[in-house]
Structure 1
Amino acid sequence: MLAVGGQLASTLVVTGYPAEVTPGWLSPLLNFPGHLDIALHIDPVPNPVAAASLKKQRARLESGRRSGFAQGQLDDPDVEAAAQDAADLAFRIARGEGKLFQVALYLTVHAADEEALAEQVAAVRAVAESLLMNVAPTTYRALPGWLATLPLGIDTLKIRRTFDTAALAACFPFTSPELPLPQGPEGSPTGVLYGLNAISGSPVLWDRYAQDNYNSITLARSGAGKSYLMKQELLRLAFTGVTASVIDPENEYVRLAETVGGRVVALGAQGVRLNPFDLPPPPHSGEAGDLLTRRVLFLHTFLSVLLSSPLSAAEKAMLDRAILATYEHAGITADPRTWTRTPPRLGDLYAALELEAGDTAIELAARLAPYVSGSHAGHFNGPSTVETSGHLVVFALRDLPEEVKAPAMLLALDAVWRQVTERARTGRHLVVVDEAWLLMREGAGAEFLFRMAKAARKKWAGLAVVTQDADDVLASPLGRAIVSNAATQILLRQAPQAVEAIGEQFHLSHGEQEFLLSATRGEALLLAGDRRHKVALISVASAAEHEVITTDPGELAAQLRENEAAYAEAAE
């Protein structure tokens, strides 16, 4: 304790730090309500000195480990962790990815008398310990401790720890756990509310349309709240004028569409069908090339997914001839004037294959038979019977058998892409593919999603991929390419079996992986922009929003009982 003028001062030295920190982790100390001076002394370590020191440290740790092993001792987890950290740090320094610094952190508490000083010191120690820091008083060195916290830049105590660049950046007093506020061209805030910051409790606003691309990827285990978060964003984006199309395998978005006056296309219901041979409207003069050629190429992709196997070269050649013959029989040729004629059907392709000679045509016709005259004939064989335009269009696929959900998703995505192309000049659009693993497991379906992810930005549209199976996304090159083309990445609760692969792909720290393992429903990690911005958030919804977007069976049953009771009371 030191008497300074009419006050007393006591200095604390930080001797231990937490294993992992996040930006703004010192905020509780910086915002301490009492009179507290904080001094951070930083001294850079030259790279040659740092490399030599780390080499000695690694040798010392390895020697101790081998000595213990030779004596029959078990491995010390702390030593193993320290050796791994030292090795990682040495490699980062060798690659020029960071530097080492000698850092000292001192805290000087001021109070009017001894009793108040003791209370203030105890409060500061409690805050520091809540941050997993160890602090010690400068016993018998009160004057050097006070001098170390004066704005003189003199470290009179020299009680230091070694930090790397990333750890030191997180200690910077002006860093914050908040995301940068998205702003429009005139400086006004944009974006929608995603939730509350899990650290500071402040609102998390994010604008996907202010990023390099408008795509997003949402990964979570079943029941973590990924569809809930997506529906919440859709509802809030609607108030900003964004239109949307949703591929919904489980009918989770139907109530939302019905509430906001959207359109529900229930594929699989009686008489509801999309014709894969439909041609899009003719392009404006001088805009696009041959619509028929592009449609034939899409049909190759669609039939590959429908038949559940990649097509061989001979099968592709045979299908190409048969598809062109089918269009020609319907009077549709390369002449743009014929593109408005009634398109053929899947049954016409089957008939064209039967007219072809050879085993390849016979086999393809046999594989198409269930979708033409068999059990699945009503899903794809016939003219389109529904309109697919609107400010919110939900393609509900729950009534479809599992065997045809993937080709139906692809057909719905094709219809969505037509709407995206037509709306490109009129406003922003969002395409949501829920349970995308159904399509990602098919090679041709993954390629279609990848092409859409690459081209959506040029049409003022974003692709939002939502899936619970991380392996289908991260285990394939196309899946990883889709992730890398998503400027907005949202991770919710993960299974222990998948968290290691996700941590490697998204460059997550051990603490961030632990957060995903222990996250409750609605808690998420938002990786924004170029991954320099990360924030842990808690999804929040108003009572009115929750009533519209929840799919919890218990809550839906309670709502149904309340509605029935209200109707009965009104009838009386």
Structure 2
Amino acid sequence: MARNKGPVADQVTQILPNTRLRELIAPVVADFSDKSACRFGDQYMAVLVVTKYPARLPAEWLSRIRLPGVTVHIDAVRRNAAEFNRIVSDSLSGWSFQAESRNKGAYERMQASAKRDQAAELLHLSGAENQAMFDSVVSFIVTAESAEGLTARVKEVQGRLAANQIIAQRPWFLTKDAMLHSSPYGYRSARLHELYAMPMPSSTLAAAAPFSAAGINDGHGKVYGLDTTGGVVVIDRWRFGSSGFADRSNANMVVLGNAGGGKSTFMKLDILMEYMAGTKVIIIDPEDEYRALCARIDGQWLDAGNSGATIINPLEVWATEAVADDEEQADASRFNPVARHLEFLKTFFALQLPDDYTAREILEIEVRELYREHGLTLDLTSVGHLEKWPTLSDLRDRIASRVHAAEELSAGAREAYAGLDLFFKNLTAGSRGLMWDGQTNVTLENDVLVFSTHSLQEADSSTYAAQYHLITQLMWREIQANRNTGEHLLVVMDEAHLAIDPKTPATLEAIKNFAKRIRKYGGALMVATQNVSDFLDPAIERQGRAVLDNASTKVVFGADGRELTHIVELYDLSRAEADAVARKAVGRCLLMVGQRKCILDVKRTPKMVQLLSTSSEKSPAT
């Protein structure tokens, strides 16, 4: 017996359209309804055609408009030499007559004379030098993501051309014809040639090439990837100040951009290539980004947090010998390592006691007395003979003894000593004591050293800043020792914004001095941050700008919002450059080396992908 169908079976199933598939296979819609622009899909486009040239053009005269979103099209049709010479000869006769005519005004005669000279020069190039002559149409396709962006970009292109006395205009009511002519479709518009073609000798046509100055290529160095034209980007950071590199004053680099844009990958690539070239590398790593790379190249990874594995004694005097800050001979008789280190300790303790001026002054006196008890006096010119140094426990005990003898002190001093006693008891017994209380157990002999501060992420900002400042001083001792070795040394400060506090600018001041002085010791500093605004806080803007602007090489990955605004203002980016940064394409950055700029696509070899990957990278892109 047949089964009765229920009401559900009688319903017709509706199949929803696959809109995503439809978008993929549908052709791009071209809209030419505007008389001076058009749209291809979601892109706004306009064509500019050169309508006027000056009498003489410099070499690479089209290189000024090599901007993101601008495509150059040169269409040249060779002229018959005999016909061209005849036409120019006739023009030369006509302009000569007008230049000497008494019926013309002075201005008209001057214009005719200039055109006569131009015609004579063209005739000389074609006849005497036997150069080929071309009827040339030079056009540009300008692309943007909005109508407003297109208008701004068109004005920028026209302005750059006008700087060379070249006039470019939109071909009104010929947009479609001009777009087809300027696109790689093999189409030549007879109408466009009739209206805009101008005679051009082969020398001028060759000099137009905007490609000769494309990209950044030092000839030798490290390969970082490709520019937008497919050119290889090669940089030698250690070549600066010499002939051909006068626009670079140091080997420093800053890397900026939002998280997830490719900063860490770029920095690891740079570190790996420098290590392979024999450069010693020291890294401050707040996020454990470099631990895997360090292990793969047999580097030394140091937990600079509160685990107790690494102790750096802040009372150890780092400056052990006189080192000149310039090419002059260091004066050992005037060198005072103890006095220098006392200045460092002022900053170190000020980071933890920012609001207690009296306590800091008393602490300076007690440290000086503690040093004197250990033979560290202000008249020493060298401390290299010492092997054991006073510790924070020694300083704690000394302050505690002063508290017990507080009867001879004023009420204010007793209160200050009591506060210092509590401070040092807490410091030496707590997590900070695991980092600082004891003899330094760090040696900096490996070619790759990574100071991990990841375990300090939950620590208060004063502790983090103090540890960061302490590590930079330890690294500075290594840089001074490296001066006469002839070897290069690269210092990397990743996520540097974590160590910055507007209330205590001393850490940023130290980084600024680091950036300015390191080149004299054969070193380079690479600073990376995703928070440019932290460097430009009004309280520390002077130091922050010096750090970000001092580097000869700037690498800007994707950014938006306030960070993008700061970057554009800091480096005076053009609209096209700002647009490239705002797109936030992963692995693509704006690269500035000296006065040269390009858009860089970072590339890695398969072997580098393997070395640079971390456990969180499942399938790193090449």
Q: TM-score with structure 2 length normalisation? A: 0.64
CA apart distance, 1:392: 1.0
SS of the residue aligned with 1:264? strand
Q: Which residue in the other structure is 1:425 paired with? A: 484
Alpha-carbon distance in 1 for matches of 2:489, 2:149: 53
Deviations 1:6-48 (A, max 9, x none): xxxxxx98279xxx94359887535x7x9689xxxxxxxxxxx
Q: Which residue in the other structure is 2:524 paired with? A: 462
Work out which of the residue numbers 445, 449, 454 in structure 1 matches 2:507.
Answer: 445
1:545 and 2:608 correspond = yes
Q: Which residue in the other structure is 2:191 paired with? A: 138
Aligned amino acid, residue 327 of structure 1? Y
Q: Which residue in the other structure is 1:101 paired with? A: 165
Written as runs of structure 1 = structure 2, the 5 A alignment for 1:142-291 is 142=194, 148-151=198-201, 172-174=208-210, 176=212, 178-182=214-218, 189-197=219-227, 199-211=228-240, 212-268=249-305, 269-280=307-318, 282-283=320-321, 286-287=331-332, 289-291=335-337
SS of the residue aligned with 2:165? strand
Deviations 1:514-551 (A, max 9, x none): 2112132211111111xx31111011112221222223
**Compared CA separation, residues 295 and 554, structure 1 to 2 (3 A):** same
Alpha-carbon distance in 2 for matches of 1:282, 1:370: 31
SS of the residue aligned with 2:348? helix
Aligned amino acid, residue 321 of structure 2? P
**Compared CA separation, residues 179 and 369, structure 1 to 2 (3 A):** farther
Alpha-carbon distance in 1 for matches of 2:573, 2:263: 19
Q: Which residue in the other structure is 1:498 paired with? A: 563
1:297 and 2:320 correspond = no
Paired residue total: 451
Asked if the contact 2:321–2:381 (Cα under 8 Å) also holds between the matched residues in 1, the reply is no
User: Identity of aligned pairs, percent?
Assistant: 22
Alpha-carbon distance in 1 for matches of 2:587, 2:202: 47
Alpha-carbon distance in 1 for matches of 2:267, 2:536: 21
Alpha-carbon distance in 2 for matches of 1:129, 1:343: 79
Alpha-carbon distance in 2 for matches of 1:79, 1:234: 38
Aligned amino acid, residue 183 of structure 2? A
Alpha-carbon distance in 1 for matches of 2:469, 2:299: 21
CA RMSD of aligned residues (A): 4.1
Asked if the contact 2:178–2:189 (Cα under 8 Å) also holds between the matched residues in 1, the reply is no
1:402 and 2:443 correspond = no
Q: Which residue in the other structure is 2:418 paired with? A: 362
Alpha-carbon distance in 2 for matches of 1:443, 1:321: 23
Asked if the contact 2:490–2:525 (Cα under 8 Å) also holds between the matched residues in 1, the reply is yes
SS of the residue aligned with 1:208? coil
CA apart distance, 1:246: 0.4
Asked if the contact 2:518–2:524 (Cα under 8 Å) also holds between the matched residues in 1, the reply is yes
Q: TM-score with structure 1 length normalisation? A: 0.69
Alpha-carbon distance in 1 for matches of 2:382, 2:520: 28
Work out which of the residue numbers 425, 432, 435 in structure 1 matches 2:495.
Answer: 435
Work out which of the residue numbers 416, 422, 431 in structure 1 matches 2:475.
Answer: 416
CA apart distance, 1:443: 1.0
Aligned amino acid, residue 536 of structure 1? I
Work out which of the residue numbers 302, 307, 322 in structure 1 matches 2:366.
Answer: 322
Larger Rg belongs to? 2
Aligned amino acid, residue 224 of structure 1? G
354-363 or 344-353, larger mean C-alpha shift: 354-363
SS of the residue aligned with 1:352? helix
Aligned amino acid, residue 608 of structure 2? E
Aligned amino acid, residue 504 of structure 1? E
**Compared CA separation, residues 407 and 205, structure 1 to 2 (3 A):** same
Aligned amino acid, residue 151 of structure 1? P
SS of the residue aligned with 1:217? strand
Alpha-carbon distance in 1 for matches of 2:313, 2:445: 16
CA apart distance, 1:222: 1.1
Written as runs of structure 1 = structure 2, the 5 A alignment for 1:460-539 is 460-475=522-537, 476-529=541-594, 532-539=595-602
**Compared CA separation, residues 28 and 371, structure 1 to 2 (3 A):** same
1:348 and 2:404 correspond = no
Written as runs of structure 1 = structure 2, the 5 A alignment for 1:94-133 is 99=163, 101-103=165-167, 124-127=181-184
Deviations 1:145-181 (A, max 9, x none): 55x2343999xxxxxxxxxxxxxxxx95345463453
Asked if the contact 1:275–1:384 (Cα under 8 Å) also holds between the matched residues in 2, the reply is yes
Q: Which residue in the other structure is 2:442 paired with? A: 386
355-364 or 321-330, larger mean C-alpha shift: 355-364
Aligned amino acid, residue 488 of structure 1? T
Aligned amino acid, residue 223 of structure 2? L
**Compared CA separation, residues 435 and 79, structure 1 to 2 (3 A):** closer
Q: Which residue in the other structure is 2:121 paired with? A: none
CA apart distance, 1:369: 3.4
SS of the residue aligned with 2:255? strand
Q: Which residue in the other structure is 1:62 paired with? A: none
Alpha-carbon distance in 2 for matches of 1:79, 1:534: 21
Asked if the contact 2:349–2:360 (Cα under 8 Å) also holds between the matched residues in 1, the reply is no
SS of the residue aligned with 1:546? helix
Aligned amino acid, residue 540 of structure 1? K
